[in-house]
Amino acid sequence: MPRFLTPDEVSLIHRLLPETTELSERLLKDLALAQVEDVEVVGFGGVVFLSSTTQLFGSDIATAMLADADGVPVRVTLCLDNHDQLFELELCKVDFSPIIGVDLRSAFSEH
């Protein structure tokens, strides 16, 4: 079911993207209106960004490593589509076990 990004998801994307590029500035500006759908597969999580145009995977624009509640590392990847629009925010545990809960609010608190 389509929804808007949560404040924690918006904060995570802001921290992943460098604000110094024209592309990043454009992507960050559009976050408030972005519509997404949840992705839930064992060992994976995140959201897919909805678009009125046909989207194909383009490239990874940013990655980071976080920790799940059980301490297992979670790789966070922000992907663009073939039109340089946001495509997916993916969370994947490195051991492919189910994600328990990544605290996005404190994920970058030490930086």
> In a structure prediction context, what are the per-residue pLDDT tens digits for the chain, which is 111 residues long?
899 999 889 988 998 987 778 988 889 988 889 999 998 776 678 899 998 888 899 999 999 998 899 999 999 999 999 999 999 999 999 998 888 888 776 665 443
Q: What pTM was computed for the model?
A: 0.84
Q: How many CB atoms lie within 10 A of CB 38?
A: 11
Distance CA 97, CA 47 (A): 18
- Extract the runs of DSSP E, i.e. beta strands, from 1-111: 3-4, 35-38, 44-49, 57-67, 73-81, 86-93
